[in-house]
Structure formats: structure tokens, C-alpha cells
């Protein structure tokens, strides 16, 4: 088993959405860094593999029975994951750093959606929390039930360790 990599920074929050956004930003940062020195193929391969593992986690979370997202959100995340898989495999084959922008852009866009907060209303009151269907599609916001229907302990929210 590979040792856990060290990070220059870590998520500042335990909120699953913030952790997911941080992970996507970190994967983007590593892709950008690897792209700056195209002769270092090992760093590029490592960054691509890290990004693919992250998206595999997201893809797997969408297939869980207790995923709290609506079917259309689950389908969209699965489709985006497949696009990331195809693009990553293509980059692993040709190691062309000039073609990393698609992966970086996807990561940044999703991370931006995860960190977006509702704007305050004009009267200075906080806007109501977004409903489940309107949230960006990564981390369930619903609190787990006291116990699952089959008597098993409740499942915890998605935790990402990359």
C-alpha cells in the first residue's frame, strides 16, 4: 500500500462539501504543477492517477443505495466521472501536458459550485439554506437516521482520503 501523501495545506473545515472542494482544488493544483515540467512524466502520472482516484470516489458515492441526491444529479455526476475517466486515460497514454486544461477546468468548476454560498438578501438577512435538489452534487447534507432500516448503525457522510 502506498504511503499517504503529505499536503502543503489541508481543508479548513470538516464540512464534507468543503473537503470535497479542497480535494478537487488540490488535484487541480497537482495537475498544474505537473504540467509546468513536462519532462517529469512521473509527477504527471501521479497527478493524473490522484485525480482519477478522486473521481472514482465520487462515482462510487453516486451508486450507493443511501445516496441522498435525486436521480438526475446522480446521473450527471456519473456522466461527468466517465468523461474524467476517458480524459485521464487519454492523458496517461500521450502524456501531453498541453491537454490538461479540460481536467483542471472540470475540477475547478465543481469545486467552485461546492463552495458557493447563498447570497444574503437585500434586507441583511441570511438567505435560506438551499434545498437538497438545488445543492451541487457531492456530499449529502441530510443527517443520518438514528439507525438504518435493517438495524445497522447509520452510515457516515462521504470522507475523502487521497
pLDDT tens track for 63-93:
998 988 899 999 999 999 999 999 999 999 9
All structural domains of the chain with their residue ranges: 16-116
Percent of the chain with pLDDT over 90: 54
As a whole number, the mean pLDDT across the chain is 76
Which whole number is the average pLDDT over 54-59? Answer: 95
pLDDT of residue 7: 57
pLDDT band at residue 148 using 50, 70 and 90 as cut-offs: very low
pLDDT band at residue 141 using 50, 70 and 90 as cut-offs: very low
pLDDT of residue 12: 74
Where is 63: in which H helix or E strand? helix 41-63
CB atoms within 10 A of CB 16: 19
Q: Evaluate if residue 96 carries a pLDDT over 70.
A: yes
**Helical spans, DSSP H, in 64-100:** 71-94
More confident residue, 53 or 38: 53
Q: Evaluate if residue 118 carries a pLDDT over 50.
A: yes
Q: Evaluate if residue 32 carries a pLDDT over 60.
A: yes
pLDDT of residue 8: 59
- Of 53, 101, 100, 61, residue with least CA distance to 77: 61
pLDDT of residue 15: 87
Angle between helices 71-94 and 41-63 (to 10 degrees): 160
Whether domain 16-116 has CATH 1.20.120: yes
34 contact partners, CB below 8 Å, separation of at least 6: 40, 43, 44, 46, 47, 48, 97, 100
What is the dihedral sign for C-alpha 103, 108, 109, 115? Answer: positive
- Cβ atoms of residues 68 and 142 within 8 Å: yes
8 contact partners, CB below 8 Å, separation of at least 6: none
- What is the three-class DSSP state of 132? helix
Amino acid at each position: 500500500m502506498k504511503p499517504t501523501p503529505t499536503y502543503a495545506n489541508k481543508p479548513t473545515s470538516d464540512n464534507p462539501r468543503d473537503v470535497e472542494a479542497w480535494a478537487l482544488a488540490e488535484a487541480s493544483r497537482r495537475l498544474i504543477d505537473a504540467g509546468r515540467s513536462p519532462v517529469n512524466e512521473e509527477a504527471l502520472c501521479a497527478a493524473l492517477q490522484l485525480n482519477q482516484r478522486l473521481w472514482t470516489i465520487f462515482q462510487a458515492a453516486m451508486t450507493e443505495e443511501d445516496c441522498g441526491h435525486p436521480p438526475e444529479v446522480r446521473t450527471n455526476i456519473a456522466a461527468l466521472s466517465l468523461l474524467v475517466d476517458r480524459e485521464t486515460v487519454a492523458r496517461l497514454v500521450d502524456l501531453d501536458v498541453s491537454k490538461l486544461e479540460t481536467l483542471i477546468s472540470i475540477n475547478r468548476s465543481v469545486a467552485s459550485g461546492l463552495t458557493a454560498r447563498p447570497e444574503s438578501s437585500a434586507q441583511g438577512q441570511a438567505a435560506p439554506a438551499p434545498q437538497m435538489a438545488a445543492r451541487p452534487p457531492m456530499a449529502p447534507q441530510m443527517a443520518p437516521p438514528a439507525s438504518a432500516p435493517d438495524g445497522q448503525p447509520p452510515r457516515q457522510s462521504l470522507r475523502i482520503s487521497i
